[in-house]
């Protein structure tokens, strides 16, 4: 922690770049806390476990000193005039803002035995693997036998890797695979206790699915979506049991990333949200709680920072390499342009557009360079070219 504090206090160009990008991020986190959207502990844990940051934003404010953060933001605001750079009132009284999370462990308020997973992509396969490893029987559903076989192949490959690294023995591998059942009909989900949807980020697709799940799945089962950007309230309203619908947002790759955002719509039964948290803990994840708002915790804090990095580059504030290096020297695991290329520039643009649509901050309008790269099909690592060439 002290290394980060010392780095932000340095006077070289890299430290100046880091302050320019991190101060608005800290400001945003303080605003999120003051709004009551999430607790101090959950905001910090979300960024540590969801992004691999060595310290959460609110703990970093405490370490640097709120007065130092305020002074830095005042300087930045004077230079940019961006209202988002004006110090948040919460910074002046951060110590009393936002209670920490309850120390009481969440409990399984509903029976959870068999898990259903809908989808056949990387995220769906990873989620099925997580639950099967934790001892749950899993029924996973795809549109075709080929898709279903692909899920089993992905999980088998992951388990084989774990065996080769000594993290799993052959008996354990066999036990996990025995808990997996693939199907091409959603009717196979009739008796599961929890269904986790992991389809593409398409509202029409999700609503069609949840209407079908409402018809098929037994009463009392939890219907969960892994959406990272769409309205859970809207998805819930498509069913006759909105109280049973909750967001369980895993991070990719699901077997590796520890964070799960448990997102409650206004209609979500508190017992359902608590059960989702308890289940996440049971399978080895770190759940954080928030309500149904664009970006939830991680994306709402991360993507404005990434967008700011692109805008800083556009304003001749540093080369791609210079900005990436500056942020990694501040102990972040990746530079912003490296991360954008990993996430996918198309995905990043869609999230940023969602945030602007929800909050209306002009300062969050997607950077022109990001828009251009997406239009040119330069989406990052998955296409071989993005901000960098691979």
Domain-ending residue, one of 270, 291, 312: 291
pLDDT tens for each residue of 321-362: 999 999 999 999 999 999 999 999 999 999 999 999 999 898
Cα separations in angstroms, 173 against 158, 161, 281: 10, 10, 22
Q: What angle do CA 210, 112, 108 make, to 5 degrees?
A: 110
pLDDT band at 6 (very low <50, low <70, confident <90, very high): confident
Whole-number pLDDT of residue 93: 81
pLDDT tens for each residue of 11-44: 999 999 999 999 999 999 999 999 999 999 999 9
SS3 137: coil
pLDDT reading at 130 higher than 90: yes
pLDDT band at 98 (very low <50, low <70, confident <90, very high): low
Residue 29: inside a domain: yes
pLDDT band at 5 (very low <50, low <70, confident <90, very high): confident
Residue 159 and residue 216 in one domain: yes
Would strands 194-197 and 222-225 be described as parallel, antiparallel, or unpaired? Answer: parallel
Phi, psi of 161, deg, nearest 5: -65, -40
Residue 279 and residue 369 in one domain: no
User: pTM for this structure?
Assistant: 0.93
Place of tokens 């915790």: 297
Q: Residue range 73-88: average pLDDT? A: 94
Residue 60: inside a domain: yes
Total structural domains in the chain? 2
DSSP 1-41: -HHHHHHHH--SHHHHHHHHHHHHHHHHHHHHHHTTSS-HH
Phi, psi of 131, deg, nearest 5: -70, -40
Whole-number pLDDT of residue 342: 94
Domain-ending residue, one of 232, 263, 291: 291
Domain span at residue 77 reads 2-100+297-383
Q: Residue range 281-302: average pLDDT? A: 96
Higher pLDDT among residues 220 and 294, named by residue? 220
Residue 160 and residue 249 in one domain: yes
pLDDT band at 103 (very low <50, low <70, confident <90, very high): low
Domain-ending residue, one of 272, 291, 310: 291
Residue 156: inside a domain: yes
Question: For residue 90, is it left (φ>0), alpha (ψ between -120 and 50) or beta?
Answer: alpha
Q: Residue range 257-267: average pLDDT? A: 97
Q: How far is it, in rounded angstroms, from Cα 257 to Cα 50? A: 7
pLDDT reading at 97 higher than 70: no
Nearest 10 degrees: Cα torsion 67, 69, 72, 73: -110
Residue 233 and residue 303 in one domain: no
Phi, psi of 287, deg, nearest 5: -85, 145
Residue 159: inside a domain: yes
Residue 128 and residue 221 in one domain: yes
Residue 350 and residue 273 in one domain: no
Residue 337 and residue 378 in one domain: yes
pLDDT reading at 119 higher than 70: yes
Residue 91 and residue 170 in one domain: no
Residue 109: inside a domain: no
Whole-number pLDDT of residue 92: 86
Residue 106: inside a domain: no
Tokens representing 305?
Answer: 């920072």
Whole-number pLDDT of residue 2: 83
Tokens representing 179?
Answer: 């808990």
Whole-number pLDDT of residue 104: 80
pLDDT tens for each residue of 149-207: 999 999 999 999 999 999 999 999 999 999 999 999 999 999 999 999 999 989 999 99
Residue 260 and residue 160 in one domain: yes
pLDDT reading at 99 higher than 60: no
Starting at the edge strand found earlier in the chain, the sheet holding 245-250 runs 180-183, 138-141, 115-118, 194-197, 222-225, 245-250, 259-264, 286-291
Whole-number pLDDT of residue 229: 81
SS3 289: strand
Residue 245: inside a domain: yes
Question: What is the domain-level CATH number for residue 363?
Answer: 1.10.1040.50
Percentage with pLDDT > 70 across the chain? 98
Whole-number pLDDT of residue 81: 92
Q: Which residues are catalytic?
A: 228, 249, 261, 299
Q: How far is it, in rounded angstroms, from Cα 139 to Cα 78? A: 57
Residue 72: inside a domain: yes
Instruction: Give the residue from 232, 233, 292, 226 showing the smallest Cα distance to 259.
Output: 226
Residue 69 and residue 164 in one domain: no
CA atoms within 13 A on the CB side of 276: 32
Longest dimension (CA), the chain: 63
Would strands 194-197 and 259-264 be described as parallel, antiparallel, or unpaired? Answer: unpaired
Whole-number pLDDT of residue 1: 73
Residue 60 and residue 93 in one domain: yes
Residue 155 and residue 214 in one domain: yes
Question: What is the domain-level CATH number for residue 186?
Answer: 3.40.50.720
């Amino acid at each position: 922690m002290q290394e980060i504090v010392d780095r932000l206090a340095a006077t070289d160009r890299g430290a100046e770049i880091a302050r320019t990008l991190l101060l608005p991020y800290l400001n945003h986190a303080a605003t999120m806390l003051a709004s009551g959207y999430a607790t101090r502990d959950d905001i910090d844990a979300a960024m540590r476990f969801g992004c691999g940051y060595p310290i959460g934003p609110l703990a970093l404010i405490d370490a640097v000193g709120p007065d130092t953060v305020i002074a830095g933001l005042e300087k930045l605001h004077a230079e940019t005039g961006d209202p988002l750079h004006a110090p948040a009132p919460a910074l002046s009284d951060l110590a009393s803002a936002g209670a920490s999370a309850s120390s009481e462990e969440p409990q399984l308020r509903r029976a959870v035995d068999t898990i259903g997973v809908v989808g056949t992509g990387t995220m769906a396969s990873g989620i099925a693997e997580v639950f099967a490893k934790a001892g749950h029987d899993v029924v996973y559903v795809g549109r075709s036998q080929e898709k279903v076989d692909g899920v089993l192949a992905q999980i088998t490959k992951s388990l084989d890797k774990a065996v080769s690294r000594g993290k799993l023995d052959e008996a354990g591998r066999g036990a996990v695979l025995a808990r997996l059942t693939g199907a091409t009909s959603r009717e196979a989900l009739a008796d599961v206790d929890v269904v986790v949807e992991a389809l593409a980020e398409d509202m029409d697709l999700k609503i069609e699915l949840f209407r079908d799940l409402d018809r098929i799945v037994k009463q009392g089962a939890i219907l969960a979506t892994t959406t990272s950007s769409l309205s859970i309230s809207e998805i819930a309203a498509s069913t006759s049991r909105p109280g049973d619908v909750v967001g369980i947002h895993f991070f990719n790759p699901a077997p590796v990333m520890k964070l799960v955002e448990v997102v409650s719509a206004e209609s979500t039964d508190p017992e359902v949200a608590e059960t989702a948290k308890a289940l996440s803990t049971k399978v080895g994840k770190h759940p954080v709680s928030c309500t149904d708002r664009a970006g939830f915790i991680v994306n709402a804090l991360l993507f404005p920072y990434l967008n700011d990095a692109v805008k800083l580059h556009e304003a001749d504030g540093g080369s791609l390499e210079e900005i990436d290096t500056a942020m990694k020297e501040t102990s972040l695991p990746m530079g912003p342009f490296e991360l954008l290329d990993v996430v996918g520039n198309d995905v990043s643009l869609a999230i940023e557009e969602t945030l602007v649509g929800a909050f209306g901050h002009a300062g969050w309008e997607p950077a022109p360079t990001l828009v251009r790269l997406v239009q040119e099909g330069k989406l990052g690592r998955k296409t071989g070219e993005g901000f960098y060439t691979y």
